[in-house]
Structure 1
Amino acid sequence: MDQNLVNSFMLDVSGLLRGETRQIDVDTSVSLDDKDFDVSFPQSPRIKGKVVNMSGYIEFSAEITVTYETVCSRCLTPLKRELTLDLKAPVAENLENMDNDEYIIPENEVIDLGELVREMIILNLPLSHLCHEDCKGLCTKCGKDLNDGDCGCVRVEKDPRWKILESFFDED
């Protein structure tokens, strides 16, 4: 295990902040609690990258790979997807004259990789998941998956009061 990893997701950057170290390589898995997400993680997200001190400018760059399981938003078919995220952010000792959103601020000279990964996944997971772009979903009457064929249910006609609006969408 890397000597700079306090545990599997806490990274000690004290040497970088004091200028004693030039680079720390990171290659670890980070455990996440599924309750924060509408997806489940069959395996822990992987984070691979480095923290580099370039003459006083410290930057953390990493690639986060996460496999998640969910269901199609339209037809409820189980899905397994992989998401790869690139993270690049400067590291600062304190917040004086800096916007907090742009910088990673180590607490007690330690970066919480778990929190970073959690935030990145929350910000980058799609709001809805589709098995394919033209998914037809489920029948609103009987619940049959319409991707497997028509169910034979009688479709309700449109409200005649809205009929006049259809003329706005005619291709003629």
Structure 2
Amino acid sequence: MKIDLKKLTASQHASIPFSETIDLREETLYGVKPFQSPVQMSGEVSGESGILRLKGTIKTIYSTACARCLKPLQVLLTAEVDTVLSDDPDAEEEDDLFVLTGDSVDPADVMVPALILQVQMTYLCKEDCKGLCPHCGADRNEVDCDCESKQIDPRFAALRALLDSGEDERN
């Protein structure tokens, strides 16, 4: 959806509302396609005293997995956008500024990057998730596996043998 900005520059105090559902199912992030739900965005582009501003909200369900136990997770992802629109190509260094390439703007070009910036590197199904057993792969949230809880790193096996022989001599 393109919004024609000529209507806003001609008027002193004007705004153009927008509301759209976009499809990001083909967007790849961290090697997967996590945006399988529709992405809702709404807001307005306003012009006042020669300054164009885009304000809006974008939200969707982000499909991922728990970083510890790998259970599928559905996370509500929301971003608020308040950006000044500028046609000055030298203004790219500033925060909260979007440089226009013509007389129109697609709100998705501004809002989708803001949504992607809200994605965290990892998510947990619950704060105290115990994760998977590194030896047998059992989900420690559901079962207690019989793996030895104090596995020795093979690189330290010789040290462990020395400690064990020292304990035998003391007894």
Same fold (TM over 0.5): yes
Say yes or no: does 1:30 pair with 2:46. Answer: no
CA distance in structure 2 between the partners assigned to 1:56 and 1:115 by the alignment: 21
Question: Which stretch of the first structure deviates more once superposed, 33-42 or 57-66?
Answer: 33-42
Corresponding residue of 1:87: 81
* Deviation of 1:102 (Å): 2.9
* Map of 1:164 onto structure 2: none
Assess if the C-alpha contact under 8 Å between 1:64 and 1:85 holds in 2: yes
The verdict on how the C-alpha distance between 1:131 and 1:143 changes in structure 2, with shifts beyond 3 A counting, is: same
Distance, in Å, in 2 between the alignment partners of 1:148 and 1:44 is 33
Following the alignment from structure 1 to structure 2, what is the Cα–Cα distance between the partners of residues 130 and 72?
A: 5
Give the deviation of 1:50 after TM superposition.
0.6
Per-residue CA shift, 1:86-135, capped at 9, x if unaligned?
A: 11011112234563543122222122333323311221101101101111
Find the counterpart in structure 2 of residue 134 from structure 1: 128
Structure 1 length as normaliser, TM-score?
Answer: 0.77
Q: Residues 57 and 115 from structure 1, CA distance in 2 versus in 1: closer, same or farther, beyond 3 angstroms?
A: closer
Picking from 4, 9, 23, the partner of 1:17 is 9
Contact 1:39 1:70 survives alignment (8 Å): no
| Matched residue type, 1:62 | G
Q: Larger Rg: 1 or 2?
A: 2
TM-fit CA distance, 1:30: 2.0
CA contact (8 A) 1:105 1:111 kept: no
SS at match of 1:114: helix
Match of 2:143 among 143, 146, 149: 149
Distance 1:40 1:125 in 2: 10
Q: 1:75-114, aligned counterparts within 5 Å?
A: 75-96=69-90, 99-114=93-108
Report the identity percentage: 26
For the Cα contact (< 8 Å) 2:16–2:45, is it kept in 1? yes
- Between the aligned partners of 1:151 and 1:103, the Cα distance in structure 2 is 53
Alignment of 1:48-67 (within 5 A): 48-67=42-61
Alignment length (residue pairs): 153
- Residues 42 and 98 (structure 1), Cα distance of their counterparts in 2 relative to 1, 3 Å cut: closer
- 2:8 is paired with a residue of what secondary structure? helix
> Root-mean-square deviation (CA), in Å?
2.3
